[in-house]
Amino acid sequence: MQPIPDLDILQPTSSAPDLAEGIDAPRTLGQETDARDGQRRVYIETYGCQMNVADSELVASILGAEGYGLTQQEDEADVVLINTCAIREKAEDRVRGRLAKFRAKKVQTKPDLTIGVLGCMAERLRTKLLDQEKLVDVVVGPDAYRDLPRLLAETAETGQAAVNVHLSREETYADLAPVRYDSNGISAFVSIMRGCDNMCAFCVVPFTRGRERSRPVTSILAECSQLVDLGYKEVTVLGQNVNSYRVDADGHAVDFAELLYRISLLSPELRIRYSTSHPKDCSDALLHVHRERPTVCDFIHLPVQHGSTEVLRRMRRTYTREQYLDLIERARSIVPGIAFSTDIIAGFCGETDEEHAETLSLMEQVRYDHAFMFAYSERPHTYAARKFEDNVPEAVKKRRLAEIITLQNQTSLDLNRQRIGQRYTVLVEGLSRKSDAQLCGRTDTNHMVVFDREDYAPGEYVEVEVTGCTSATLLGHAIRQTTLVEEAV
């Protein structure tokens, strides 16, 4: 979910030029709250995608309602919760390292410390983490967060491990208002569906997060509307397979295109993004919503995974290279100027040099603005693990990945250079990471822009002229403050 190359922990949203599974450091929820009398303080560390960050916010609000306090300092915590990612082996290894460290602390200096594992590793590694390695006290799967207060109380009382890894077909946490602990007060994530039914051959998500289920429209609209009232300027709607969203509302099927349309009616000044989508669910109706609604950003994270039809078939992606390229062309003709990012896997089972070359040639054809690129990592239970041999040598995977990254960096730089001299409406997200004298924010097309602060402030829309760039960032100077309504005229 952020983020390249092959990085396995979440990328800070403030600098995210992307919205996918990216990653470079674990996240700690960004607020301190007091515990009610007699209650304990919790430290939550989050790995993986934006969905995990959104889930950690849910967990924080569930525990907050029970009087737990939140701390950003692991040393001050009575309860440490690690929200985990299982998508690649490396991600799992990192989490294990952290758990071992907390366990050592508990044994050596802090016997009352409670250590919990949340999320994607819970189901798969429950036995190992609990029985064999005795690393944790509480294990809670992604559909069982409501049970967390009970489980924490149980382990505190009995000294025994407490577990709930039940995967639900219904749970969407629709009625729970997440507390935006991890937000800049400008852009927020809204979870609209959970799980995935696609069963791509390489992917562990359907096993860790269960079946697809969509959250009711009314609760999504209510949450977005509340965010507007609170002054938020951007929502990113989230789901493992977000554009397969579908619910029955009063006998009428609402799909993703209609949902976005309805969210866009809430405010003319609220930008709308989404992540992460599957090409098979990228309908013309959805593209027309991008075209017709000025606040629906002209950017799609549209993972291709590979450039060869034969590899896509082995990956069970359900589309061919040609169908994917047609989709990109259709999108560009319906929504001129739309930008794309993607996910690409190098070294999938049986990948030949010729097949790898097809990935490079597809990248050259599409010219993505941005990509998340990974070496294939075999995951347990997946179709690929059961049916294919992970037979591309590590050195070859690495070399192919490096070629993919080099090509993408060059393309990103070329595309950014073409933007020099153009003006864009930037939603200011905060200070730039490098200097307090500069602000950063993103264009409609999800390009990060850095410019001199002057008298502008986070939360404002500012027209910025691009004067320079790197492959990851546009540099510019502010022209004037603006609004989305003005921009659309």
Give the pair of three-digit tokens for residue 470: 């790197």
Residue 431 vs residues 11, 142, 462, 468: alpha-carbon distances, Å? 17, 33, 14, 18
Binds 88: which of ligand SF4, ligand 5AD, none (CB < 5-8 Å by kind): ligand 5AD
Q: How far is the C-alpha of 479 from the C-alpha of 179, rounded, in Å?
A: 35
Among the residue ranges 53-61, 207-215, 308-316, 373-381, the one whose residues contact ligand 5AD (CB under 6 A): 373-381
Q: What is the largest CA-CA distance in the chain?
A: 66
CB 206 within 8 A of CB 196: yes
Q: Which stretch binds ligand SF4 (CB under 6 A): 128-136, 193-201, 290-298, 462-470?
A: 193-201
Candidates 70-78, 241-249, 369-377, 423-431; binding stretch for ligand 5AD (CB under 6 A): 369-377
The reply on whether position 50 binds ligand 5AD by CB under 6 A is no
Which residues of 60-182 form beta strands (DSSP E)?
A: 69-70, 79-84, 114-119, 138-140, 162-164
From 162-170, 177-185, 198-206, 356-364, span contacting ligand SF4 (CB under 6 A): 198-206
| CA atoms within a 13 Å half-sphere pointing along the CA-CB vector of 127 | 1
Is residue 155 near ligand 5AD by the rule CB under 6 A? no
Q: Work out whether 2 is an interface residue with ligand 5AD (CB under 6 A).
A: no
- If the CB atoms of residues 386 and 434 are measured against ligand SF4, the closer one turns out to be 386
- Among ligand SF4, ligand 5AD, none, the one that 198 touches (CB under a kind-dependent 5 to 8 A) is ligand SF4
Does residue 306 touch ligand 5AD according to CB under 6 A? no
Least distance to ligand SF4, CB of residue 21, Å: 9
Interaction partner, residue 240 (ligand 5AD, ligand SF4, none; CB < 5-8 Å by kind): ligand SF4
The two structure tokens encoding residue 180: 């935006």
- Cβ 139 to ligand 5AD shortest distance, Å: 22
User: Is residue 15 involved in binding ligand SF4 (CB under 6 A)?
Assistant: no
3-class DSSP state for residue 151?
helix
Q: List beta partners, residue 118.
A: 83, 140
Instruction: Please report how close the Cβ of residue 282 comes to ligand SF4 at its closest, in angstroms.
Output: 12
Site string for ligand SF4, 147-186 (x = CB under 6 A): ----------------------------------------
Q: Say whether residue 206 binds ligand SF4 (CB under 6 A).
A: yes
- When binding is defined by CB under 6 A, the residue of 50, 214, 305, 412 that contacts ligand 5AD is 305
DSSP state of 290: H
Residues 20-39 that bind ligand 5AD (CB under 6 A): 21
Whether the Cβ atoms of residue 202 and residue 376 lie closer than 8 Å to each other: yes
* Cβ distance to ligand 5AD smaller for residue 207 or 461: 207
Could you say which of ligand 5AD, ligand SF4, none residue 135 binds, taking C-beta under 5 to 8 angstroms by partner kind?
Answer: none
377 binds ligand 5AD (CB under 6 A): yes
45/165 Cα distance (integer angstroms): 19
Structure tokens at 274: 């989404």
Are 341 and 302 contacting, i.e. CB atoms less than 8 angstroms apart? yes
Which partner in ligand 5AD, ligand SF4, none is near 188 (CB below 5 to 8 A by kind)?
none
Q: Does 343 bind ligand 5AD (CB under 6 A)?
A: yes
Report in angstroms the alpha-carbon separations of 273 from 20, 74, 187, 400.
12, 33, 10, 31
Count of residues engaged in binding ligand SF4, rule: CB under 6 A: 10
Q: Is 198 in the site for ligand SF4 (CB under 6 A)?
A: yes
Closer of 145 and 372 to ligand SF4 (Cβ)? 372
Compare residues 278 and 400 and give the one whose CB is closer to ligand SF4.
Answer: 278
Q: How far is CA 485 from CA 54, 270, 291, 330, 489, in A?
A: 29, 10, 15, 27, 7
CA-CA distance, 120 to 15, in Å (whole number)? 25
Closer to ligand SF4 at the Cβ: 103 or 321? 321
Whether the CB-CB separation of 3 and 412 falls below 8 Å is answered with no
Contact present, 187 and 234 (Cβ < 8 Å): yes
Q: What angle do CA 362, 365, 368 make, to 5 degrees?
A: 85
Q: Which residue matches tokens 């919790």?
A: 42
The item of ligand SF4, ligand 5AD, none sharing an interface with residue 87, based on CB under 5 to 8 Å by kind, is ligand 5AD
Q: Residue with structure tokens 């050592």? A: 104
Q: Interface with ligand 5AD by CB under 6 A: which residues? A: 1, 21, 87-88, 202-203, 303, 305, 343, 345, 374, 376-377, 379
